[in-house]
Structure 1
Amino acid sequence: MRPPRHYPPSSSVPAGGRTRPGVDGQDALGSRIRRRRTIQHERPATSDLARPPRGAGVAQHRTDDRDTGAGSTGVSVDAPATSSGTDPGPARDREPAVREFLSGLEVRDRSIDRYAAAHDASHYLLVPEAVVAPRSVEEVRSVFGGARASRRTLTFRSGGTSLSGQGVTSSVLVDTRRAFRGIRIEDDGRRVTVQPGATVRAVNTRLARHGYRLGPDPASEIACTIGGVIANNSSGMACGITENSYRTVESLLFVLPSGTVVDTALPDADARLRHREPILHAGLLELRRRLLASPDAAAEVRRQFSMKNTMGYGLNALLDFEHAVDILAHLVIGSEGTLAWVAEARFATVPLRPAIATGLLVFANLAEATAALPDLVSVGPATIELMDAASLRVAQAASDSPEAIRRLEVVDHTALLVEFQAADADQLAAALADARPVLDALQLASPVDLSSDPAERAALWHVRKGLYATVAGARSPGTTALLEDIVVPVERLLDTCTALTALFDKHGYDEAVVFGHAKDGNLHFMLTEDFGDAASLARYRAFTDDLVDLVLDQGGSLKAEHGTGRVMAPFVRRQYGDELYAMMLEIKRLADPSGMLNPGVLLADDPELYLRDIKTAPQVETEVDRCVECGYCEPVCPSKNLTLTPRQRIVLRREVERARAAGDDELVAELEQDYGYDGVDTCAVDGMCAVACPVDINTGDLVRRLRAEEPTPLLDRAWRTAAHHWEASTRVASTALTVAHTLPPSLVGAATTAARAVFGTETVPHYDAGLPAGGRTRGTSEPGESGTSLPDGAATEVVFFSACVGTMFGPEAGGIGSAEALRRLAARAGARLIVPDGIDGLCCGTPWKSKGHLHGYRDMSDRVLPALLKASGGGRLDVVCDAASCTEGLETMQHLAAESGAGLRFVDATEFAGRMLLPHLTATRRLASVAVHRTCSTAALHVDAALDAVCAFVADEVYEPDAWGCCAFAGDRGMLHPELTASATSAEALELGEREFDAYVSANRTCEIGMSRATGRPYRHVLEVLEEATRPAS
C-alpha cells in the first residue's frame, strides 16, 4: 500500500530558501520598458526580472588574470572534457558545492530534476550537476560570477529542441524557459521584442493579429524558443538565408561571460563595448582587418555563407559589419551559447501572406524530382519541400495522413510539397497563372491539386513538419534516431542525393529517409542505429567519414540549420581550413577566455567527440517506446511549469529502467519516490500532448495505467461501489457542496486540509470558496418541448446525455446551467431531446478511467452503452452531451468497448448547437465581446470551430487568448492539486486581466470552475449565453 502523499505546491527549491509560488513580478526588460510599451507575457513572471540600469551595476572591466572556468586559460574550449554521460554524483571534487555558488537562486538538484533535464531532442545524453533557473538578467550575471569563482561551466537551454547536442551538459544547466517569456509587439507588428523562453508559435500567434510573423520558420515552431532560434541561427522551410535570424534580428541584449551587459539598441553601444571590453572590441576589429586583407579567405567565407550554413561561427559578420558591437551581435547569432547569453532580441518581422495554395507534386523517382527544381524555383513558390519514397511510406502510416499521401502506391516515388503565398486572392491567382505552364509541363506520377482549403493545407504541412519525429517514431525499439542536416549548391543536389543513397547502401542503412528544403539545396536524412555494440559505433563512424567527404567534395556545408553542436564540432576545421578555423578559436578566446560557456560545442579538438555520450532508448512501456524526445508536447502540457512535461515523464521511465539494469537500486528508489507526485499525481491526463505529438503518444495513457497499478483494494472497491450507485454518489457530492456553501469557507477549508493531512492529497479534495454549490439531479428535469419539425428534412430528435458534473457542480450564480440551456434552445429551434432511462445513474466513465479504477470503469461502461443504444434506437439518433470532456469520454468508452458500442454517434452540444440549432434561432440581444476558453476536449473532438461559431452568433468580438492552455482542472484534479490548475492557468489569466469582456464562456463545467478561480471572472457554458441571447424580445 502506498502511503498518503503530502507535497508542497512546488518541487523547486531555491538555494537560499523557498520562493513564494504564484507571486507576480516585474518585467524582465528593465529600463528598456521605460522607453517602449509594456511587454505582454506568455506566462506571468514569478519575481523581479528587471535588468540593471544602463551605465550602472554592470560588470567591471575585464582583466587578463580572471579566474578560469575550466582550469585553463586561452582557447582550450573542450575543457573540462565530458568523457561519459554518467551522473557526476551528489559530491564533486571541486568546491564550493553547487548550491553554495548558486546561493539565493532557484536550484533544482534532485535526481529527478537532473535526469529529466539531461534529455533534449538530440541523440546525446549528459546528466547535469544541477539545474538553475534565474529570473532576471541580474541573476544571470550572478550565475556567471559564481561559475567563474567555482571554476564551473554553464550551458543555457530553453526549449530543448536542438538536434546536435548543443543543449546538454554534465556541469550546470541554466533553464531560461520558465522566467523569460516576454513578448512585446512594436510598430503595429512590424517589429517584435522577445525574450529567449518564448516559443516561435507564441510569438507568431501575437503577431498574427497584426498581419505579421517572424522570418525564421523552423518545423519545430510549436516548441522551439527564441533563445534557440538565435543561438542556432535557425531558418526553416521558407525563409532561406534572407529571412533567418542573422538577417532579421535588429538588436540584441546579451550578457557576456564577464558579466558585461551589451545592449546593441543603444546609440552608443559600440563606444560602451570599447570602454567596458577593450580587448574584445579591438580583437574583433583586428579579425575583420585580417579577413579583408586575405581575398581568398574572404571569398571562401562569402561562398560558404551564400548557402544555409550553421557550421562554426558566422564569420560573414566580419565582412558584413564595420562596428565591433554589430560584429559581436551577429557572431552571437548562431554561436550555440558559446559566446554569450541572449536576454532579449528585437526582430524585424515579415508580412503574412494569407492567400495560399499548397500542393503535392509526386514524381516517379528522385532524379525527376530534382531535375524539376530549376523550373519550379523560377516561378517563385515560397517553399519546395522534398520527401523521398521512404519518407512517404512512413507518412502514409500516420493516423492523420492526408488523402493525397495515403492514395499513393509508393515505389521509388519522390514528392515535392510546394506552396505559393500572396497578399490577397488576386495576387495568388496571378502567381498560379504564371506557374501553370511549368506545372503542366512536369511529368508527374499523379495529378497535382493546389489547394487553398485550410484543412487540406494543414494536413500536408502537419506531415512535413512532423516528419522527423514520425520517421524516428517508426524505428525499431531500442534504437537511436540520428538526424543529419547538410546543404549543397542546388545544382549539385541530384548528384548529392544519388551519392547519399549509395552511402546508405554501402553502410547498410536500409531504412534511411531523405527529406528537406529542396529550394535551398538543404537535405535532412535520418538513420537509426543500435549503439549497443562496438560494431554499430564503427559503422556510424565510417559512414560519417564518408559523409564528410561527400558533402565537402560537393562544395556544401555539413550543417545547414541544426547547428554544429557536438555532432559536427570535430569537422569544423576541415570544412573551413586552418586560417578560418584559427579565427574562430580567436573569437572564442576573446569573448569567453575561460571556456565557461558550453564546452565541447561548436569547436572541439577531440576528433571523436561526436561518438561520445550517445543516448540510448531502453524499452519501457509500449505506450511511449516510440517517443523520440522531440519536445513538441511540452508547451501544451499543463504541468510544465510545476513539475514535469510529457517528454520528461517518458525519459524518467527510461532512466529508471537504465538504472535498474545497472544495478543502481538507490537511484531507482529515489526516482520512483519523487515520480509519484511529479510524474503521476500532477498529470492532468488531458491528452493535449497527443494532439501535439507527431507520433500520436498520449502520455496520459501511461499515467492512467500507472494509477491503475497503484490504487489500494479498499479505494478500488469504493469506486466500484460508486459506479453501481452513481445516482446516490452524485447527490451526496452535490449536497456536500451545497451545505459547504452555507458555512464559512475558512471552516470548510480547514476541515478538508486536516482530512488531506490524514488521508492524503490524492484522496481528499481541497475546498475553497471558488467552488460552486451543488447542482440538481438530471432525471428530475423535463425534456425540452417537442416543438415543430426542423425544415429541409433535418433530424428532429437526439438523445440528450446530460453530464453528471451538472449535478455535482451547480451553475454560476444566477445561471441556469448547460443542461437547462440546451433544453430551452432545443425547444425554440424545434428539436426534441430524448433522455435515456436511468440517466442519473449513468456517467461517461472518465472519473474511473483517469484514476485507474478499471473495474468500476468496465461496470459503468456495461450499463451506459446499452442504455444509449436503447434510447437512440440502435444508433439511429445522435447522442448529444453538454460537457465536452464527457463527450470525449463517451467516445473513448465506445472505442474501448468495440462491438458493444457499435453504431453510436456522439456529438458535443457545441457542435449540435452550431450545426442544428443556430439556423433556427434569432439573436435578440447581442454582446459586444466574449472571451472564450477552449478546452482540451474541444480540441480533441475538433469542435473548436463550432464553439467559435456559437460565440460569434451572440457577440461582435470573440476573443481567444493567445496564452490559452488546458486549465488542468481535469475532473477533480483541480481540487486534489489546486496548485496544478493555478500553474496551468496563470498565463491565460494574466492576459485576460488586461481588459474586461461582456461574457466569459467555455464548454465544460469543471473548466469553467477552473477558469473562474484563475481569473476571478464568471465563466459559464457557451450554451447559457446563447440561451440568454436568443430569448424572445418581450
Structure 2
Amino acid sequence: MARRPDRADADVRPEPELRAAFEAADVADVSDRPLDRLVGAHDASHVRVVPRLVASARTTADVVAALRVARERGVPVTFRSGGTSLSGQAAGGGLLLDTRRGFRRVEVLEDGRSVRAQPGATLRAINARLARHGRVLGPDPASEIACTLGGVLANNSSGMACGTRHNAYATIASAVLVLASGTVIDTGAEEADRLLLAAEPAVHAGLLALRDELRADPAATATIRRQFAGKNTMGYGLNSFLDHDEPVRILEHLAIGSEGTLAFIAEATLRTVELHARASTGLAVLPSVVAAARAVPALAAAGAATVELLDATSLRVAQRAPRAPGWLRDLDVREHAALLVEVRAGDDAALAAAESALSDALAGIGAVRPVELTRAADERAALWHIRKGLYAAVAGAREPGTTALLEDIAVPLQRLGRTCVLLGDLLETHGYRDAVVFGHAKDGNLHFLLTERVDDADGAARLAAFTGGLVDLVLGEGGTLKAEHGTGRVMAPFVERQYGPYLTGVMWRVKRLLDPEGILNPGAVLSADPGAHLRDLKPFPALTDAAAPAGDCVECGYCEPSCPSRDLTLTPRARIVLRREIALARDRGDDALAADLELSERWSSVETCAADGMCAVACPVGIDTGEVVRRLRAERVGPVARAAGRLAADAWPALAAGASLAMSAAHALEPASAAATVALRRVLPHELVPRLDPGLPGGGRRRPRRADLAPAAVLLPSCTGQLVGPDGGHGGGDGAGDGRDGAGDGLPVAEAVLELARRAGVGLRTPERLDALCCGAPWRSKGHEDGARRVVDRTVAELLRASDDGALPVVVDASTCAAALASAAAGAAAGRGRALRVVDAVSWVAGHVLPHLAEPRRVAEVVLHPTCSDVKSGADLVTLAGALADTVTVPRDWGCCGFAGDRGLLHPELTASATAAEAAELADAEADAYCSTNRTCEIALTRATGRTYGHLLTLLELATRP
C-alpha cells in the first residue's frame, strides 16, 4: 500500500521541559510517554492527531492552571472526555486535557425538572439519577452509554427524538464557563451579566457590538434564521445573537456547540423533559426511498416520536441480522426503503390513543405490507437493533486496513427523498457501493457510512472528490453539511461555503474575541486550510497477531465506561489502539518505538486488564478485549512457564489442599513465584486467609454434606467458595461481626445450597474427586491454555460421570465459575460425544428450590452487587433478592469490581479503582444486608465499602432457617 505523501509520521520524543512546566502548576497526570500520547491521538472519528502532552483535570482550578501554562508556552489545549465525537473535534496536537476522570458530579434539582452536572458524567449516569423522578435529559444521542455531558454540550448533540426543541442549546439553563484567559463565569449567578462586564469588559462589549450589528442586517438575520431552523451544527451558533439579549446569555449559548474552541464548560444546569416509560414500535417498508420520504410528514403529524429512515442497502444489511423478523428476511427489498416508527406515552391509556393515531396514518402511506405496532420489549428491541446495528454491521464487515467514516447532513424535509436519490448516485459514482444511508427522517437528517483506505493515495483522492461532490449536493438542496456530529476538523474548511464570507467572518471575530491567542482547540470549527479535512486521517493497520479479533473495532468508545481499569491504566478501546500503533510502528520500520510501546503495554494493558468481558456487552461489534488480552498473555508464556502451568493442572488436588486458590494459583503459575508470594503476603488482607476444614489432613476443599434424596442435579462447589469461605463477620466496617451487614453466621455457599435443597425436598449429588476439579479460569486468565485444557478435561470427565452422562444439570455455587465452566466445558463435552448443562446456583435455586421453601423472613433493604457473569447471562438476581427484602438496591454506579480471579491479589490498586464510584455511592447507605454471587466479588466490595458482603444464597439460607 502506498502511504499518503502528505502524511507526516508523529514525533513522539518526550518533552521533559514542557512536561515539567505543567507539573509545576499542579496539573494532574501529565505525561509525554509515547503510549499515552499515541493512545490519546485516537477517538471515535477518522482523524488521528498526536498530542505533545496528555494530562487530566478534575476541578475547575485544574483547568485554569493548565490554561495559564498553555498561554505562557503557546501550547494549544484540546479537551477530551468520552471521545465519541465523530468529526475530529476531540483531537489536538498540543495539550490533550482529559476531563473524564473527574468532573462527574450530578445533582438532581426541582424534583428532576432540572439537573446540574459536570462534563465528565455520562448521559446514562445522569439519566439513571433522573429516572426515579420520571425525567430525562433532552438530548438523546445513540452513544448515551459512553458520551459525556461535556461532549453533548460542546457539540450541541441531539439524537433520534430530540430534534431542535430539546437539544442542549434549547434546554441549557446556566453554565460555569472557563474562558481562555482563565476567567471563570457562572452564568447562573445573580447579576451574572454585571459580573461578566467587570471580569471581561472587552468580551462583554464585543458581544454587544456583534449582537447589534447582526440584528441591524436583515439579510444576515434571515440567513441565520434559515440556517438554524432545523438541525445544524456547522460553525458557531450565531442564532445566540438573535435569541438572547444579555451578553452573558449570548456567551452561554455560543459555548454550546463550540467544540471547546471558545470556552470550557465546567458545569451546566439543564432543564429536563418527561420520561415516557411506555412505547410502541413498528417497521414500515415502502417501495422506494422517495415514497418513504413522502410519508414522513403524515407520520410526524400523527404524533410519532421517532421516524427513522433505512435505505435499500440498509435493509439488505438488516436482513442478515440474527434478530431480524422472519417476514423481513423473506422480503425482496430491491429498491425499497423502510421507516422505523415509535410512539411514546406516560401510561397505557395515552399509549393506546397514540397507537391508534399512528396506525391510521400508517394505513395510508402505501407500505408493501401491513404495519404492526408492538409493545413487547423483545420485539421492540429486535426492531431497534436493526436500526442501531447498521453501523456495527457495516463497519465491522469492512476490509482489513480500511477506515469507517460516518457522516451526517440535513436538508429541508420536502427535499429528503430527492437528496436520498442524489446521494445514492454520488456514492455509486465514486465507487462506494456498499455504503448505507439511514437517519432521523423527521428532521431531514441523514447519516451515511462508507469505508475507505485513507492511508492510500488513491483512496485519499477518491475521498476528496466525493467530499467535494457532497458539499455541492447538500448546499444545492438548501441543507447543512453537519446536522448533529459537529463541524470538527472534517468540515471546518467548508464553513464559508455554507454561510458565506460575511457570517463566517463574524464567526472568526467571535473566536478572536474569546480566544485572542488561539490556544483553544485550533483547527476545529474554523480553519484557514482548505485541505484540512484530508489531513491526519486515521490509518487502520491490519492486526495479525493475538489482537486480530479486535480488527473490527471502530474505536467508538462504547466499551470504556464499563471497564474496571478505565481510571487506572487503559480502556478496551485504548488497548486495541495501542496494538494498532505497535503495528504502525512496525510497518514504518520504527522498531525502537514498537519495542517501547510493547514494554509499556505489559503493565498498562496486559497486566491490569480484568478480562471480565463486560466490554463485549457494550461493544456494537461484540469485541471481547479481555479475550484479546488473554491471547496476548498466552503468546508471552514461555516454555518453562507453560510447563509449570501443566504441572499445576496435574497437581491441582495437592495445590488446593492447604492453600487458598489465589495464593496457590499465583505461586504455581507465575514466574519468579517466590518473589510473587512474598509480595502477595504483604498486601493480603486478613479476610482472604483461607478458612480450611481442620478435619481434613493439611486442609483442603470441604465436601458439602449430602442430602439423602434422589439427585435432581450435581452440585460443584467452586474453589473460591470452599477455600475462601464466608467472612464470618470479619470483613471490616462499623457493622463487622453483628451479622447485619452480610451473612456472617452463614454456611459456606455450597452447604447453604445443599441445605436449601434439603428443605425444599430436592436432592443434590457432589462429584467424587472434588479436590481435582476446577473451571480452568486461573490458568486461562494467565494465558496457560495447556493447563486450562488439562484441568477442564479432567473436570468434564468427572462431571459427566456424576451427572449420568449429562442427564443431570451441574450447579456451580459461584456465578463467575459457572460461566467459565459452561464456556470451557461445551467443547470438551462435545469432544466426548456428550452434552453437559452447567447453571449457576442462583438461577437454579430461584427456579427449582425457592418455590418450595417456607416464606423467608424479610428485611427492609438489601444492597446487591451483580457479578459480570450475572449481567452477561441476564440472571434475574433482583427477583430472588426481592424474596428477602422490601427494597433491593443495585447501585447506580455499579461496575465490575476488578478482582478478576487473581488480579485483585496481584494488583489491588485495580480493584480499588474499579470499586471507587460504587463505594462512594454506598458511603452513607444503611442497608440490612450486602450481597453478591461470587466470593472474590464479595471480598472486593467488603474491602471497598467497609460493609461485609456475603453470598445471596447464604442470606437466603439464613432467612429460611426454621
Give the structure 2 partner of residue 715 of structure 1: 641
TM-score where L is the length of structure 1: 0.87
Inter-partner Cα distance in structure 2 for 1:982 and 1:901: 44
Decide which of 739, 750, 771 is 2:688's aligned counterpart.
Answer: 771
Does the Cα contact within 8 Å between 1:735 and 1:774 map onto a contact in 2?
A: no
Relative distance call for 1:549 and 1:895 in structure 2 (3 A) is: farther
The aligned runs of 1:693-704 (5 Å cut-off) are 693-704=619-630
How far is the alpha carbon of 1:348 from its aligned partner? 0.7
Amino acid at match of 1:845: G
* Structure 1 counterpart of 2:289: 366
Give 1:174's match in structure 2, choosing from 88, 97, 107.
Answer: 97
CA distance in structure 2 between the partners assigned to 1:932 and 1:398 by the alignment: 34
* Partner AA of 1:1009 in structure 2: I
Q: Name the CA shift for 1:564/1:895 in 2 (closer, same or farther; >3 Å).
A: farther
Number of the residue aligned with 1:803:
718
The answer (yes or no) to whether the contact 2:809–2:838 under 8 Å persists in 1 is yes
Distance 1:722 1:877 in 2: 29
Change (3 A) 1:731 1:864: same
In structure 2, relative to structure 1, the CA distance for the partners of 1:856 and 1:757 (3 Å cut) is closer
Output one character per residue of 1:452-493: Cα deviation in whole Å (capped at 9) or x when no partner: 223333343344335324421111110011111000111111
Which of these residues, 769, 774, 791, is aligned with residue 838 of structure 1? 769
| Mapped partners of 1:411, 1:778: distance in 2 | 63
Corresponding residue of 2:842: 910
The question of whether the paired residues in 2 share the 8 Å contact of 1:551 and 1:558 is answered with: yes
1:586-621, CA deviations, whole angstroms, 9 ceiling, x for partnerless residues? 110110011110111100111100000000100113
SS of the equivalent of 2:146 reads coil
Unpaired segments of 5 or more residues in structure 1? 1-81, 739-748, 788-795
Match of 1:975 among 867, 888, 905: 905
Structure 1 equivalent of residue 696 of structure 2: none
SS in 2 for 1:223: coil
Q: Which letter does structure 2 place at the counterpart of 1:415?
A: A
Change (3 A) 1:768 1:686: same
Partners of 1:736 and 1:774 within 8 A in 2: no
By how many angstroms is 1:96 displaced?
Answer: 5.7
Q: Percent identity?
A: 52
Q: Within 1, Cα distance between the matches of 2:130 and 2:831? A: 48
Point out where structure 2 has 5 or more consecutive residues left out of the alignment: 694-699, 729-744
1:939 equivalent among 864, 867, 871? 871
Query: 1:877 deviation in Å?
Result: 2.5
Paired residue type of 1:99? A
- Out of 125, 149, 154, the position equivalent to 1:231 is 154
RMSD: 2.5
* One-letter identity of the residue aligned with 2:840: D
Distance 2:535 2:785 in 1: 45
Q: Is the 8 A contact 2:746 2:955 kept in 1?
A: no
Is 1:858–2:858 an aligned residue pair?
no
Out of 685, 691, 695, the residue aligned to residue 617 of structure 2 is: 691
Deviation at 1:407, TM superposition (A): 5.9
Identify the structure with bigger relative contact order (alpha carbons < 8 Å, sequence gap 6+).
Answer: 1
Aligned equivalent of 1:99: 20
Counterpart residue type for residue 996 of structure 1? E
- Contact 2:82 2:148 survives alignment (8 Å): yes
**Which of these residues, 929, 933, 958, is aligned with residue 1003 of structure 1?**
933
- What is the aligned partner in structure 2 of residue 222 from structure 1? 145
Q: 1:680 to 1:812 in 2, by over 3 A?
A: same
Within 2, Cα distance between the matches of 1:540 and 1:619? Answer: 20
Partner AA of 1:860 in structure 2? V
Measure how far apart 1:858 and its partner are: 1.2
- Aligned residue for 1:250, secondary structure, equals strand
* Counterpart in the other structure of 1:926: 858
> Following TM superposition, by how much is the alpha carbon of 1:712 offset from its aligned partner in structure 2, in angstroms?
3.4
- Give the AA of the match of 1:105: V
SS in 2 for 1:697: coil
> For 1:236 and 1:772, how far apart are their aligned partners in 2?
52
Q: Secondary structure of the equivalent of 1:559? A: coil
Matched, 1:480 2:387: no
Contact 2:19 2:31 in 1 (8 A): no
Deviates more, 1:678-687 or 1:802-811: 802-811
Q: Equivalent residue for 2:742?
A: none
- Looking at structure 2, the residues matched to 920 and 381 of structure 1 have their Cα atoms a distance apart, in angstroms, of 47
Question: So what's the TM-score if we normalise by structure 2?
Answer: 0.93
Moved more, 1001-1010 or 410-419: 410-419
How do 1:498-513 and structure 2 match up within 5 A? Answer: 498-513=421-436
Structure 1 segment 513-592 matched on structure 2, within 5 A? 513-592=436-515
SS in 2 for 1:385: strand
1: CA distance, partners of 2:495 / 2:130: 37
* Structure 1 match to 2:737: none
Residues 591 and 405 of structure 1: CA distance in aligned 2, closer, same or farther (over 3 Å)? farther
CA contact (8 A) 1:823 1:833 kept: yes
Aligned residues: 928
In structure 2, the CA distance between the partners of 1:994 and 1:730, relative to structure 1 (3 Å rule), is: same
Return the match for 2:315 from 392, 398, 402.
392
- 1:533 Cα offset (Å): 2.6
Q: 1:296 to 1:607 in 2, by over 3 A?
A: same
Matched residue, 2:801: 870
Match of 1:422 in 2: 345
1:993 maps to 2:948: no
Q: 1 CA distance for matches of 2:83 and 2:847?
A: 42
Residue in 1 aligned with 2:169?
Answer: 246
Which of these residues, 950, 955, 969, is aligned with residue 880 of structure 2? 950
Contact conserved, 1:235 with 1:244, CA < 8 A, in 2? yes
2:568 matches 1:646: no
Pair 1:1030-2:960 in alignment: yes
Matched, 1:606 2:529: yes
1:287 deviates by 1.1
Return the offset for 1:83. 7.8
One-letter amino acid matched to 1:842: L
TM-superposed deviation, 1:785 = 4.6
CA contact (8 A) 1:761 1:977 kept: no
User: Which letter maps to 2:559?
Assistant: C
Residues of 2 paired with 1:302 and 1:144: CA distance? 35
After the TM superposition, which residues 659-674 of structure 1 pair with which residues of structure 2 at under 5 Å, given as runs?
Answer: 659-674=585-600
Q: 1:996 to 1:151 in 2, by over 3 A?
A: same
2 CA distance for matches of 1:152 and 1:630? 27
The match for 2:653 is 727
Residue of structure 2 equivalent to 1:443: 366
Letter of the 2:20 partner, please give it: R
Partner Cα distance (2:406, 2:324) in 1:
22
In structure 1, the residue corresponding to 2:429 is in which secondary structure? helix
SS in 2 for 1:545: helix
**AA of the residue aligned to 2:657:** R
- 1:268-287 → structure 2 map (5 Å cutoff): 268-287=191-210
